[in-house]
Structure 1
Amino acid sequence: MSVLPGDFDLGQVLQEAEAAERRQEWCAAACIYQELVGSADAPAPLLLRAANALWLSDQPEEALELYRRASLLLPDSPAPFMGLGNSLRDLNRFEAADRAFRASRQRRDGPALACNHAALLIGLESYDEAYGLAERRFELPGMGPGPEGGVAAVVASAPVLHVRTEQGLGDGLQYLRWIPPLLEQATARGQSVVLEVEPSLVTLLRRGLAWLPQPPEVRATPGPGDDDPLGVGTGGDGQEPAPARDRVSLLSLPAALGGAPCPQPPGPDGRGTYLRGLAPARPADGWGRPPRVGLTWASGRKLADGFTRREYRKRTLPAAALVRLVEGLVAQGWEPVLLQQGEDREMAQPVAPLFVDAIPPDGDFLATAGVLASTDLLITVDTAMAHLAGAMGHPAWVLLPFSADPRWLRQRQDSPWYPSLRLFRQGEDRDWLPVVAAVLQAAAVEAAAAFRAAAAG
């Protein structure tokens, strides 16, 4: 039954929905729109707005139905088919999402649509097509032009190649796997490589990549206040900027070097580690101690727009699930170590006395890596910490929402990107408590094995 009065003012109701959108209150906006589109003759623009609000409030099943209705009314428009692709991707129906994205691009292609499609294609393991298509992002407003002649041409010809991170610490840590093969080719060409990264990563990468025969020079990029997304200004360490023709994005390296998960030298632990030498020596009295588990429970707190707000909420553990996880681990004999950065550290206040160690609130990634390496296991949500552990070859369990990023593929409990990671996934109910229960069950087995090994030693 509709909650709207029979004599409601449509214009006023639409204004209320738009006000909810401006406040990023997408659930409220979706509720208002759903009341307006209940009739069979709802116009297509209203259907699309309702579907978008449902999708941004993480209700892909409901959004899917409205996008389908809109596609029948607007068969030549790309918008309903793009919405179908996004919703089907979130329902883990990747093949159907691929068809929807291709249908949308046939009607009118664009860089935002191409980037959405590229992310999905990674989930289908169509890596060459995915990374070729991802280069369309340079057509987006504010991105600036892409490498002249294509990234492969710049990589092959620049006397000093400047590789710069582009977005997100997690993406940067993941795509560093292409640096060792790039350096091998660069050395053969007599070419040097400068790696420009976020300031918090500089010391980590200077040490973690020092094992390479000819490691790159690592510099800091401009800070967030510098309007310089692709490196047209002076570097963060004060060096003169590189010529535009000699710069490429770290995220563009797969398009030049091959798109599949890049095989790495196995390293001393056989885990494909490409950040090495970060673990401090274990203290002599460390044998026989209780097992230590690092914990990260919140994704990056990016709330500026509907999509990033949605991703933060669906990837972050609710407080009740976090408390149950910490208390359960302590009951099994684990010593929790706090590895969460930012405002979301406060979520641990109810169980703060149970943590035996923590990273400093303002520490860089090298300090974080040192504390991480002191643990026996990391349990984390999908955030940069998962990629740091994978790059270090450190054992980690990653807790994923039902509609996980396609890079984690589907159903699998392992990752082709990181051999040291184990994946725990939400079910269709999108409830975190069963995930926590599965983690605690697995942790009990690990703790028992650790205590047996300590007793035997």
Structure 2
Amino acid sequence: MGEPRRMTLHLGNAAIRSDNDAADDLYQAGLREQAAGRLDAAIALFDRAMSLRPEFPEALCSGGYILQTKGHAAAALAFYDRALSLKPDYAVAWFNRGCLLMAHKNYEAALESFDQACALKPGDANFYCNRGAALVSVGRAAEAAEDQKRALALKPDFIKAALNLGNALMRLGAYAGARDAYRRAIELKADYASGFAGLGIALKELGQFSEALEAFDEALRLEPDSDEALANKGCLQLLLGNFAAGWEGYEHRWFKGQRLTLISSAKFDLRAPATLAGRKILVVNDHGLGDTIQFFRYIVLLAEAGAEVTFACPAKMWRLLDSSGAKVAWRDDKDQSGDFDATLSLSSLPRACETRLETIPAPAPYLRAEPDRVAHWRARMSGEGVKIGLCWSGSSDFRVDPRRSIPPVHLAPLAELPNARFFSLQKEDVASPFPKALEGRLIRFDGIDSGPDAFIDTAAIMANLDLVVTCDTSIAHLAGALGRPVWVALKHIPEWRWMHARADSPWYPTMRLFRCADGDDWTALFNEMTPEIRRKFPG
């Protein structure tokens, strides 16, 4: 993303002094001080200029930039707004205002400012580059890619626009185009660590794993503490089964300043319970609900070994997780107070337990549905036929990989199962066209898990199903943790936890994995799955 602009105004020497002339001279002197890095002196000169000419938008804009640089966001915004009230067509002020709002994650407002800047000065590559960054941040990746292309057309050697184009194309799933954009950034700047990190991510999604690892290694040679390169290399190593190295990289999954806990040096030997007895451990939930369910197994094992485990996680999960029977103290997910022998994030427990591919703890079940709810749903689901639960869509948050979800039209091959009864496990009805052949056979229940506790009804429904068919979402983890038969439909290169080229999951013994071929043809996947259901569940 481009930097906010300083406004430079060139004026000739005036023969006769006036307040306006003096204000201009003070302003120019302020710009010189600013260029020399003497910001306090610069802002003092701008203030003097504005005392002589209160309606001085250029001085207000430059003053706002200095205030922004010094971390005074509210004052900087007030300066920009005042400048724009005096000069509404001031493109640089709109641009600087957008940069300020972007820095404070006010993306929609930033986009409005960048829209104004681009409309006023359509030949500025920086304006398009920054607007593209804002568009990605609000989930409008296709438009973002077009803006980065405009920026590159105006300025072919614009390194940041090439990188941002790659980022936008990654969001669109256009991995080959993203790879080419990152390579363009590297051609423009051979020592560009971010370019190599982006290239590694794109190559991983294209299934070019060796080349991806080489790109990550080059990024880390250039910038050894790059969290982006460390984390993504770690995820690729986990995908390929290299857990020893992968967990170390995975510890960098949070950008600086966003970690919920520090990286912990704690180690827990689950094979030696005596070393864990009495240890006070605070575990902090750090990801989505699927991760919570997947990694909760470690809390169960630590508690069974005699550790005193406190779990800080969303209260809506307590009731479900408590079905494990483990002795756990629950607290709000933002509460890290108290003295503990170790404090660490939930997703860091596999590393702390030195988990390797061959030692993944896979107890099944380690969660249980409540008997009274199972009976309630058994009565509502009574009838003949193979009972299949369907979940085709995960989180609607565009920041979560949307390509894990399955457009329901691709479920059509399941209609070839004449004796099957289909039950929706979607808590939120997804506004996508459903195959007509299945629509009339899909049973939807209103009010599933409408109370304060998550997954209580869903777990009970699963207990009455013969099979759960789901995309990569929390439903897959819940079914696996309950020990229910579950078949997961995955995109060609899935998230690391599903590993590579396996039909089973070492995390869940009752799970079977179906993978799209290159190109993510979901209909082909369900054409493969349907006869397997017929064979396994003849009804």
What residue identity is the alignment partner of 1:201?
M
1:77 aligns with 2:167: no
In 1, Cα distance between equivalents of 2:440 and 2:366: 35
1:132 aligns with 2:248: yes
**How many Å apart are 1:335 and its aligned residue?**
0.8
Q: Residues 366 and 345 (structure 1 numbering): CA distance in 2 closer, same or farther, change over 3 Å?
A: farther
Counterpart in 2 of 1:269? none
1:201 aligns with 2:301: no
Q: Residues 245 and 349 (structure 1 numbering): CA distance in 2 closer, same or farther, change over 3 Å?
A: farther
1:255 aligns with 2:369: no
What residue identity is the alignment partner of 1:163?
V
Identity %: 25
> Contact between 2:294 and 2:477, CA under 8 Å: does it hold in 1?
yes
Q: Residues 251 and 184 (structure 1 numbering): CA distance in 2 closer, same or farther, change over 3 Å?
A: same
> Contact between 1:164 and 1:221, CA under 8 Å: does it hold in 2?
no
> Contact between 2:151 and 2:158, CA under 8 Å: does it hold in 1?
no
Structure 2 unaligned regions, length at least 5: 1-121, 270-274
Among 125, 137, 142, the alignment partner of 1:27 is 142
Counterpart in 1 of 2:427? 341
Q: Residues 23 and 106 (structure 1 numbering): CA distance in 2 closer, same or farther, change over 3 Å?
A: same
> Contact between 1:206 and 1:218, CA under 8 Å: does it hold in 2?
no
Among 341, 355, 367, the alignment partner of 1:275 is 367
1:296 aligns with 2:385: no
Instruction: Give a deviation string over 1:10-46, Cα, whole Å, max 9, x none.
Output: 5465576456445432122223434664799544333
> Contact between 2:199 and 2:215, CA under 8 Å: does it hold in 1?
yes
- SS of the residue corresponding to residue 494 of structure 2 reads coil
Counterpart in 2 of 1:51? 166
Instruction: Give a deviation string over 1:81-114, Cα, whole Å, max 9, x none.
Output: 1011110111122232222112111211222332
1:316 aligns with 2:316: no
1:177 aligns with 2:291: no
Instruction: Give a deviation string over 1:235-260, Cα, whole Å, max 9, x none.
Output: xxxxxx43365432221211221122
Please identify the structure whose Cα radius of gyration is greater: 2
Counterpart in 1 of 2:58? none
Q: Residues 348 and 116 (structure 1 numbering): CA distance in 2 closer, same or farther, change over 3 Å?
A: same
Among 422, 425, 431, the alignment partner of 2:512 is 422
Instruction: Give a deviation string over 1:154-211, Cα, whole Å, max 9, x none.
Output: 99597432223211111111112323432344x2xxx42233332232111111x12x
Q: Residues 375 and 52 (structure 1 numbering): CA distance in 2 closer, same or farther, change over 3 Å?
A: same
- SS of the residue corresponding to residue 30 of structure 1 reads helix
Q: CA RMSD in A?
A: 3.4
Greater shift in the superposed pair: 26-35 or 385-394: 26-35
Counterpart in 2 of 1:454? none
Give TM-score scaled by structure 1 length.
Answer: 0.77
In 2, Cα distance between equivalents of 1:94 and 1:250: 28
Count of residue correspondences: 404
Q: Residues 69 and 297 (structure 1 numbering): CA distance in 2 closer, same or farther, change over 3 Å?
A: same
1:433 aligns with 2:523: yes
1:243 aligns with 2:335: no
> Contact between 2:199 and 2:212, CA under 8 Å: does it hold in 1?
yes
> Contact between 1:52 and 1:83, CA under 8 Å: does it hold in 2?
yes
**How many Å apart are 1:437 and its aligned residue?**
2.0
Question: How does 1:13-412 map onto structure 2 within 5 Å?
Answer: 14=129, 17=132, 20-21=135-136, 23-34=138-149, 37=152, 42-108=157-223, 109-137=225-253, 140-146=256-262, 150-152=265-267, 159-185=279-305, 187=306, 191-207=307-323, 209-210=324-325, 215-222=326-333, 228=334, 231-232=335-336, 241-243=337-339, 246-261=342-357, 262-264=359-361, 272-276=364-368, 280=374, 289-303=384-398, 307-308=399-400, 311-312=401-402, 314-322=403-411, 324=412, 328=415, 331-344=417-430, 353-356=440-443, 358=445, 360=448, 362-363=450-451, 364-412=454-502
> Contact between 1:297 and 1:380, CA under 8 Å: does it hold in 2?
yes
Structure 1 unaligned regions, length at least 5: 1-7, 223-227, 233-240, 267-271, 451-457
Bigger relative contact order (CA 8 A; separation at least 6):
1
In 2, Cα distance between equivalents of 1:54 and 1:183: 45
Counterpart in 2 of 1:9? 123
Greater shift in the superposed pair: 290-299 or 161-170: 161-170
In 2, Cα distance between equivalents of 1:284 and 1:421: 26
In 1, Cα distance between equivalents of 2:216 and 2:311: 34
Q: Residues 349 and 197 (structure 1 numbering): CA distance in 2 closer, same or farther, change over 3 Å?
A: farther
